[in-house]
Amino acid sequence: MTDIDLTAPAAPAFVRPNLQRQAWEGRAIKNNILTGITWIIAILAAIPLISVIIMLLMQGGSRLFGSDIVEVLTALPPAGFEMGGGIGPAIVGTLVMVAIATVISVPFGIMAAIYLAILGRTSQLATYSRFLAKVLTGFPSILAGVFVYAVLVINFGYSPWAGGLALAVLMLPTVVLAAEEAIAQVPQRMKDAAFGMGCTRTQVIWKVVLPTGLPGILTGVMLAIAGAAGESAPLLFTALFSNYFLESLAPVNNPTASLSILIYNFSGMPFENQIELAWTASLVLVLIVLVFNILARLVGQPKA
């Protein structure tokens, strides 16, 4: 047995460590610096968008929101040193070709989505189709133009149909994937209830699945349209360009104007007037794209 040594110094009293974060501690400084950098990066990232919008409004807005708005929207593009002029044929061309692309891609896209989401969800075909649709969304848009050139243009020449088909090739995968997601979100119970009533699969799809999934499908379609309207690469050598209004929908040798190609052509010209029109066309194009983007958000919201 050992005696307790009474002469030993008493154990130091327990000192409560300071657990509070110190503002000048290394870790805290590092934390604050990184937070600052993140804020700067976030603000920097917004600058291009703001700059683009300001330039569009300043350079394009003066023509579009001025007294000559009717001329700008309806007149033919000016030649060389000519003043005035407008972007009428290009607006018509863009709208016509996007409409053609929509009419082609949406029915096929929604039917394919129905197969992928309901009829053959786990089948081998669905697996391949879904994968290829995803690959195609990352597909360079100019290759759609090259493809249509090889199929149509070599044989029949430039036409709004060739341009529309090239846009449809780009829209299809977007529509398919968005519609599949919307359709897959329809609750299984609703489908089961319909099946329980003796519906065939077609009736379930037409009367339950499509009406329920419609907002989601429409969102996908609107986004696909917005994307197609802004595309230019696939139109370069399928629709080409024209200085005149589209007179017929003839599928043979019928070059068609579009806003994006007009911007591309006019951007490199040495004339003040053309460059100003390129900005005006950009503003119109961005407004068209924006309208469809906003529509996409509006139709996608559940009804209050």
Partner 1 sequence: MATNPFERAGSSGTITRPPSGGELTTDSVFRGIAYVCAALIVVLTALILWELGKEAMPAISKYGLGFWYGTTWDVNKGVFGVLPEIWGTLYSSLLALLLGGVFGISIAIFLTQDFIHAKLAVVFRTIVELLAAIPSVVYGLWGIYVLIPMIRPGAEWLHQHFGWVPFFSTDLSGPGMAPAALVLAIMILPTVAAISVDAFRRIPYKVKEAAYGMGTTKWEAILKVMLPTASSGILAALVLGFGRALGETMALAMLIGNANQINLSLFAPANTLASLLASSFPEAGGIEVQALMYAALVLLLITFIVNVAGLAVQQYTVRKFEGKA
Please, which of residues 102-121 interact with partner 1 by CB under 8 A?
Answer: 108-109, 111-112, 114-116, 119-120
For residue 85, report the phi and psi dihedrals to the nearest 5 degrees: 90, 175
Q: What are the residues whose beta carbons fall under 8 Å from the beta carbon of 100, sequence distance 6 or more? A: 160, 161, 163, 164, 165, 167, 168
Torsion over CA: 155, 106, 199, 184 (sign): positive
Q: Which is nearer to partner 1, 74 or 141 (CB)?
A: 141
Q: Which is nearer to partner 1, 209 or 218 (CB)?
A: 209
* 199 belongs to the binding site for partner 1 (CB under 8 A): yes
* 285 belongs to the binding site for partner 1 (CB under 8 A): yes
Applying CB under 8 A, among 263, 273, 277, 280 the residue interacting with partner 1 is: 263
* 245 belongs to the binding site for partner 1 (CB under 8 A): no
The DSSP line for 119-161 is: ITTTSHHHHHHHHHHHHHHTS-HHHHHHHHIIIIIHHH-S-HH
Whether 234 contacts 139, CB under 8 Å: no
The residue written with tokens 């499509």 in the block is: 210
* 287 belongs to the binding site for partner 1 (CB under 8 A): no
3 state SS of 303: coil
Whether 179 contacts 220, CB under 8 Å: yes
Closest distance between partner 1 and the C-beta of residue 32, in Å? 9
Q: What are the residues whose beta carbons fall under 8 Å from the beta carbon of 199, sequence distance 6 or more? A: 207, 208
Applying CB under 8 A, among 129, 159, 242, 280 the residue interacting with partner 1 is: 129
Closest distance between partner 1 and the C-beta of residue 288, in Å? 10
Could you say which residues in the range 223-242 bind partner 1, by CB under 8 A?
226, 229-233, 236-237, 240
Applying CB under 8 A, among 68, 99, 147, 215 the residue interacting with partner 1 is: 147
* 161 belongs to the binding site for partner 1 (CB under 8 A): no
Could you say which residues in the range 30-49 bind partner 1, by CB under 8 A?
30-31, 34-35, 37-39, 41-42, 44-46, 48-49
Q: Which is nearer to partner 1, 41 or 83 (CB)?
A: 41
* 170 belongs to the binding site for partner 1 (CB under 8 A): no
The residue written with tokens 């969102």 in the block is: 219
Could you say which residues in the range 67-96 bind partner 1, by CB under 8 A?
none
Applying CB under 8 A, among 70, 79, 103, 125 the residue interacting with partner 1 is: 125
Give the CB-side neighbour count of residue 128, counting CA atoms within 13 A.
Answer: 3
Applying CB under 8 A, among 73, 76, 146, 299 the residue interacting with partner 1 is: 146
Structure tokens of 45? 């990232």
Distance, CA of 100 to CA of 120 (rounded, Å): 29
Q: Which is nearer to partner 1, 4 or 44 (CB)?
A: 44
